[in-house]
């Protein structure tokens, strides 16, 4: 397949790895932001093929992992209401809240449905005017345009029974929080190619300059990852805090302007809690006041929920690159994909899940 198979070519990957071997002269810690990249790296064993001087740490770019427990508990409370059809992407159904998950709400009689697009939820609202249809709008810049479009469409259809439970997060403020955090070890970033496909990478030069780190826009196939790493290491070795694009077949500097426009029309920036990390200033999106009628948190009374995290779970430290999944005492014993204690194990993009599948 054009633009895919050639980026899985083992010989080209090994040539890239050999070039990294020739380029690196000292230890560097590099973070891949995105959980999809983490899975590709661990699955293909790329981190084990790199020179020992290069340490990869795994970032917070997994939408399921960083959705705060409080929002999961709110989803459970809303989904349990008899008048509600609660819709979500499938990967949120097994994410544990304080006591249970959406799957168990469904087993108990709640009307919880998996959809493939928020526009499917809008259609459900049209077909069920006597019910309240709620879509769990989580994720990064990648999912925000379609979620924003669903609100625009619901408004144009005059739907009064459609709403979003919003938990949107943005990558650049998380990068700044990691780089400015106590004990930060990250010296260079692989930026998430799909996020940059939507947002471009015009926000990154200021971060690179402020924290003096190189940032390289990187794709998801093995050769993409090796090229991204090689570019990052080249910049690190010569001390250049620059932004580079190693995913040119998909990403442009300015990104997808119409997608950015619909996000800006529907959402506004806000402080947002990240699961295991805490509140990061200006790191989320919420519905603008003119769209407050589509806000499930305003439509349903879910304000007083107090979540309970497992005291064993160190997912927050993993998501900041300070620990690895194998540092967790519960990894693979008390915490497995079948019985997850934290979201980094349940999510298909979570670092704990990747280590469990490919590294045990």
* Residues within the interface to ligand SF4 (CB under 6 A): 312-315, 318, 325, 328, 330-331, 335, 340-342, 344-345, 352
Q: How far is the CB of 279 from ligand SF4 (least distance, A)?
A: 20
CA angle 84, 90, 96 (to 5 degrees): 80
Q: How far is the CB of 297 from ligand SF4 (least distance, A)?
A: 26
DSSP 83: T
Q: How far is 85 from 306, CA to CA, in rounded Å?
A: 24
Of 204 and 331, the one with the shorter C-beta distance to ligand SF4 is 331
Distance (Å) of CA 266 to CA 141, 270, 318, 349: 13, 13, 32, 27
Q: How far is the CB of 23 from ligand SF4 (least distance, A)?
A: 33
Give Dmax over CA atoms of the chain in angstroms: 66
Q: How far is the CB of 8 from ligand SF4 (least distance, A)?
A: 29
Of 179 and 318, the one with the shorter C-beta distance to ligand SF4 is 318
Q: How far is 93 from 194, CA to CA, in rounded Å?
A: 24
Q: Which uninterrupted H or E stretch holds 269? A: strand 267-274
Q: How far is 217 from 197, CA to CA, in rounded Å?
A: 10
Q: How far is the CB of 325 from ligand SF4 (least distance, A)?
A: 5
Residues near 181 by beta carbon (within 8 Å), at least 6 away in sequence: 320
Of 63 and 193, the one with the shorter C-beta distance to ligand SF4 is 63
Q: How far is 148 from 126, CA to CA, in rounded Å?
A: 18
Of 215 and 318, the one with the shorter C-beta distance to ligand SF4 is 318
Of 131 and 185, the one with the shorter C-beta distance to ligand SF4 is 185
- Closest-by-Cβ residue to ligand SF4 is 342
Q: How far is the CB of 160 from ligand SF4 (least distance, A)?
A: 39
Of 220 and 331, the one with the shorter C-beta distance to ligand SF4 is 331
Q: How far is the CB of 330 from ligand SF4 (least distance, A)?
A: 4
Of 200 and 321, the one with the shorter C-beta distance to ligand SF4 is 321
Q: How far is the CB of 109 from ligand SF4 (least distance, A)?
A: 29
Give the DSSP letter string of 112-155.
EEE-SSHHHHHHHHHH-TTSEEEEEEEESTTTHHHHHHHHHHHH
DSSP 194: H
Q: Which uninterrupted H or E stretch holds 319? A: helix 315-319
Q: Which residues pair with 215 in a beta bridge?
A: 189, 243
Of 124 and 315, the one with the shorter C-beta distance to ligand SF4 is 315
């Amino acid at each position: 397949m054009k633009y895919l198979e050639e980026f899985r070519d083992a010989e080209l990957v090994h040539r890239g790895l050999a070039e990294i071997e020739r380029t690196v002269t000292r230890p560097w810690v590099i973070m891949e932001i995105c959980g999809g990249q983490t899975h590709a790296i661990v699955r293909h064993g790329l981190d084990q093929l790199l020179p020992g001087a290069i340490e990869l740490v795994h970032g917070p770019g997994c939408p399921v992992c960083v959705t705060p427990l409080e929002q999961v508990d709110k989803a459970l409370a809303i989904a349990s209401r008899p008048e509600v059809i609660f819709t979500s992407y499938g990967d949120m159904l097994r994410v544990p809240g304080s006591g249970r998950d959406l799957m168990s709400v469904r087993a108990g009689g709640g009307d919880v449905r998996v959809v493939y697009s928020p526009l499917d939820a809008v259609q459900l609202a049209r077909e069920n005017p006597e019910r309240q249809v709620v879509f769990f709008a989580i994720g990064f810049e990648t999912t925000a345009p379609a979620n924003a479009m669903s609100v625009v469409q619901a408004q144009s259809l005059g739907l009064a029974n459609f709403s979003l439970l919003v938990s949107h997060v943005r990558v650049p403020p998380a990068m700044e929080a990691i780089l400015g955090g106590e004990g930060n070890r990250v010296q260079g970033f692989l930026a998430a190619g799909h996020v940059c496909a939507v947002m471009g990478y015009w926000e990154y030069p200021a971060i690179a300059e402020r924290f003096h780190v190189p940032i390289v826009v990187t794709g998801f196939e093995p050769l993409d990852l090796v090229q991204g790493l090689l570019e990052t290491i080249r910049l690190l070795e010569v001390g250049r805090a620059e932004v580079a694009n190693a995913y040119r077949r998909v990403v442009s500097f300015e990104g997808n302007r119409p997608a950015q426009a619909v996000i800006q029309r529907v959402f506004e920036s806000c402080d947002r809690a990240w699961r295991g990390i805490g509140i990061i200033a200006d790191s989320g999106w919420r519905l603008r006041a003119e769209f407050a009628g589509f806000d499930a948190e305003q439509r349903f009374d879910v304000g007083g929920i107090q979540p309970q995290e497992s005291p064993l779970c160190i997912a927050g430290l993993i998501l900041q690159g300070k620990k690895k999944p194998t540092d967790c005492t519960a990894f693979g014993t008390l915490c497995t994909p079948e019985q997850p204690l934290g979201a980094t194990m349940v999510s298909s993009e979570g670092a704990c899940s990747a280590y469990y599948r490919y590294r045990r």
